[in-house]
Amino acid sequence: MTETAKRENVPAPRPSPTAPRTYRFPHFERMTLPNGLRLVVAPVSKLPLVSVTAVVDAGASTEGEGQNGVAALTAQLLLEGAAGLDGAALTERFERIGTSADAHADWDAATVSLTVLGERLPEALSLVRDLLRAPEFPEREVARLKDERLAELLQLRAEPRALADEHFSRAVYAPSARYAAPAGGDAASVRTLTGELVRRFYAQRYRPATTTLVFAGDVSVERAAGLVIELFDDWRGEPMSPNPRAVDASPPTRLARVVAKTDAPQSEVRVGHVGLPRRHPDYFDATVMNAVLGGLFSSRINLNLREAHGYTYGAFSAFEWRRGAGPFTIQTAVKSDVTGAAVREILHEIERMRSEEIGTDELTLATSYLDGVFPIRYETTAAIATALSNLVIHELPEHFYDEYRMRVRSVTTEGVLRAAQQHLHPDQLRIVVVGDPAVVARPLAEIHGAPVEVVTPEGAEVAA
């Protein structure tokens, strides 16, 4: 190409920011009803919308032994029949007022959430009351949702990304740990679930004292509280305490496993190990450390794998924050023939993170990003409701969101190095690749220093 630029003008010099305007996370108030039901309300009057999230302490980690998936099934079944209305009728009631309810359970909570025009809030909340207090769990719908979950699991067998996630969890946790299996249960456990188990789980976990109603948007504290008292004040029942389930890690050794997908044009790669529980005291150091390593687009791992080598469309790392220690995962998808090289670069970046302090420039890139982007994260009523739900689920300090930006800015290069040295464990890495064993097994074995396991998507070992 010629050196002549298209335009002959001279570009303006790089501008400087003006003075920042202050931002406060939306003010919210809490209340507790005499029956133990809690209420969190954040009035935000920008558009005539309200987001409501009912948070119930009924996540997958509260399931009893041998009932994997009952939490998710119970939450979904709330929408399939309640207070004399069948699932189709409930759906119609929600949709007629321009909304739809999402009900699901993840590890730490079951949630029912919706966003609705403020004027429709009473009708919507009355329906939420029916779901939470008077679900019917009809046998036909129990059978249908089990079948749909089994269909979904079958579907995931052919989906390299989901397959990689599932095999990675199994590689990171001991087989006895609840976190080893999917939150929604696997095929074997889902088949054993019954309407009776669902009803019992509901009776134990869905109670006023385990439930918090979160409101964010065009609603006053008085109006929200009035509606909640009217609809929930006479809800009775004591929850039974959940059985704490183990979150044991697999043995602290390295492991390399290939999930065979013959002729795959690309390898789905997961590298990592057990991470930290959400309320770990190093939360901020670990968050900034992760941002530099692989959390940002301009992180070390993404710049290395994508921008320097062109191995991938993207490479990222994350701590998955749960009440128990969730996984720390580095993930990417790379062209099959560079799988070994890409994993080598990932291991190199982990080592580099642990062996020397990051530069001040890298630190400020991460901290000023996390600091500056904070208001952008809470532009929608649904995002504010989710943030407040997390406050409830993890029992975070009342001023967590007010102090978040200051805490991020206080992280130092020493803190990041310490977090890397204490919370990244090169000797315990689990390396899981969904890809073509003929192409990837040998280079991975070279890096691993030992033969790699090769398994089928179903998990059976095959001869390497």
Partner 1 sequence: MQIPIETYELDNGLLVVLSEDHTAPLVAVNLWYHVGSANERPGRTGFAHLFEHMLFQGSASVGANEHFELVQRAGGTLNGSTWLDRTNYYETVPSNQLELALWLEANRMGYLLPAMTQQKLDTQRDVVQNERRWSMDNQPYGSWWERLPALCFPPSHPFHHSLIGSMSDLDAASLEDIEQFFTTYYTPDNAVLSIAGDFDRDEAKRLVERHFGPIPRGKGKPPLPDMTLPLSLGGPLREVVPDDVVLPRLFLAFRSPVFGSEEYYAASVCGAILGLKKGSRLHRRLVRERQLAAEAQAFTYDLTKGSDLLVLDVTARPETSSEELERAVHEEVDRLRDDGVTAEEVARAVTLVETELIVALQSAGDRADKLSLFATYFGDASLVNVQGARYRAVTAERVNAFARARLGADNRASLLYVPRETVNASTSRELAEAGAR
Interface with partner 1 in residues 240-299 (CB under 8 A): 264-266, 268, 296-298
Q: Is 406 in the site for partner 1 (CB under 8 A)?
A: no
117's tokens: 């025009």
Binding-site member from 61, 290, 312, 317 for partner 1 (CB under 8 A): 312
- Sign of the four-CA dihedral 158, 161, 163, 166: negative
Residue 29 CB, nearest approach to partner 1 (Å): 20
Q: Is 458 in the site for partner 1 (CB under 8 A)?
A: no
If we measure between CA atoms, which residue out of 446, 432, 453 comes closest to residue 268?
432
Residue 116 CB, nearest approach to partner 1 (Å): 7
Binding-site member from 66, 244, 252, 310 for partner 1 (CB under 8 A): 310
Site string for partner 1, 17-36 (x = CB under 8 A): xxxxxxx-------------
Q: Is 397 in the site for partner 1 (CB under 8 A)?
A: no
Binding-site member from 61, 62, 68, 99 for partner 1 (CB under 8 A): 99
Region binding partner 1 by CB under 8 A among candidate stretches 56-64, 67-75, 279-287, 364-372:
364-372
Whose tokens are 């630029």? That residue is 5
Whose tokens are 């929600």? That residue is 94
Binding-site member from 60, 77, 116, 454 for partner 1 (CB under 8 A): 116
Binding-site member from 176, 243, 355, 368 for partner 1 (CB under 8 A): 368
Residue 250 CB, nearest approach to partner 1 (Å): 27
167's tokens: 């095999």
Binding-site member from 42, 52, 121, 334 for partner 1 (CB under 8 A): 334
Whether the Cβ atoms of residue 393 and residue 448 lie closer than 8 Å to each other: no
Instruction: Catalogue the E-assigned strands of 400-448.
Output: 430-435
Residue 151 CB, nearest approach to partner 1 (Å): 5
Site string for partner 1, 122-161 (x = CB under 8 A): ----------------------x--xx-xxx-xx-xxxx-
- Sign of the four-CA dihedral 135, 140, 144, 150: positive
Which residues are within 8 A (CB) of 457 and not within 5 positions of it... i.e. 6 or more apart? 157, 163, 259, 260, 261, 434
Q: What is the DSSP letter of 309?
A: T
What is the distance between the alpha carbons of residues 267 and 262, in angstroms, rounded to a whole number? Answer: 11
If we measure between CA atoms, which residue out of 289, 377, 342 comes closest to residue 25?
377
